[in-house]
Amino acid sequence: MILSSAQADPRQDSATNDALQNSPFMRACRREAVPFTPVWLMRQAGRYMPEYRAVRERTTFLELCKRPELAAEVTVTAAERLGVDAAIIFADILLIIEPMGMDLEFAKGEGPVIHNPVRAGADIERLREVEDVSTLDYVFDAIRQTRRALARDLPLIGFAGAPFTLASYMIEGGASKNFVHTKRLMYTDEAAWHEMMSKLARALPRYLNAQVEAGAQAVQLFDSWVGILSANDYRRYVLPHTRRVIKSITPGVPVIHFGTGTAMLLEAMREAGGDCMGLDWRINLSEGWRRIGEDKAVMGNLDPVALFTNRNFVRAEAKRILDEAGGRNGHIFNLGHGILPETPVDNVLALVDAVHELSARK
């Protein structure tokens, strides 16, 4: 049962906070010894799960994000059903752009659509500063309700989109293959580009820190589209803004810095910051960790499509990745991206069980 926001103080008592901070997930974020490798999965509350589909039949995606009791329900259900070592709040990276003045819709079969995309400097000037995040209270209320309903030692992850990925959506008006509008603006009007990124970089810490205040133990920054950039472009157009966001997160709160297609950007992303660096499946975990540096934790990195095979293959792939990690402190097992909608639930359960079993410290 999900409790209403009026039923309890969102602050944790000291015993609960100690249990959360000593959980395998939080210890791994700090690169401390753990009894087994913690595992959670991006998009672990999603369409592959019948319990989620039953909730979605009653509402739209955006309404689900904006109804705290439903967002909390699907978050808790997924974490408990899978037996993972962290929950992640159900929300969407694009919610932050609505208070900035963007007209956002999730069109059936099309995904996110922004009806007033940014295409020129004048459009950027009209973007509102998000100095007050109270218009996103539904996210914070969902976190409060979720925190009260979760096991006292199960951490909750908050998240946001990184500046580049959000800017890309806002400029393209939705998803894109080649990001022509984004790169054209970036290359031809650098001042306008940095103004837009700066507005995002000022808004995001307020949003993420409010999630922490509401009850999240860690946060993840999703830079889903940044892999379309060269390392030079990343350093020139993105790194300063992402670094500003990460440096402004509440001290002591672990930050997971995640992107896809980023094998050529790992060193630059490390410069941008984060306590734990997310790796996708396109790079060997041990190689990625070497390039990032073992003073950072890493998260990853099973190909989500591996979950469409069978239990034996899933187990073998889990063992391969755990072997690459070599039992070093600081590995959080995850997919290289989110769970796909048609993924067999039994294979997801098998993955979680395999990670726990194979990584158990003797």
Q: Which of 73, 79, 352 is nearest to 217 (CA)?
A: 79
What mean pLDDT do residues 206-213 have? 98
| Domains defined along the chain, listed by start | 30-359 (3.20.20.210)
Name the pLDDT band for 362 (thresholds 50, 70, 90): low
Active site residue 56: yes
Report pLDDT for 107.
Answer: 82
Of 81, 141, 144, 169, the catalytic one is 169
Name the pLDDT band for 21 (thresholds 50, 70, 90): very high
Name the pLDDT band for 108 (thresholds 50, 70, 90): confident
Of 56, 119, 235, 270, the catalytic one is 56
Of 47, 202, 206, 291, the catalytic one is 47
pLDDT averaged over every residue in the chain: 95
**DSSP secondary-structure letter at 39?**
B
Active site residue 169: yes
Report pLDDT for 10.
Answer: 43
- Note the pLDDT tens digit of each residue in 326-338: 999 999 999 999 9
How far is residue 299's CA from residue 260's CA, in Å, rounded to a whole number?
A: 12
Active site residue 43: yes
How far is residue 93's CA from residue 73's CA, in Å, rounded to a whole number?
A: 19
Name the pLDDT band for 12 (thresholds 50, 70, 90): low
Q: Above 90 in pLDDT, residue 311?
A: yes
CA atoms within 13 A on the CB side of 261: 11
Of 31, 43, 81, 148, the catalytic one is 43
Report pLDDT for 4.
Answer: 40
Active site residue 233: no
Report pLDDT for 1.
Answer: 39
Report pLDDT for 208.
Answer: 98
| Beta strands 111-114 and 104-107, pairing class | antiparallel
- Note the pLDDT tens digit of each residue in 68-87: 999 999 999 999 999 999 99
Of 48, 81, 92, 234, the catalytic one is 92
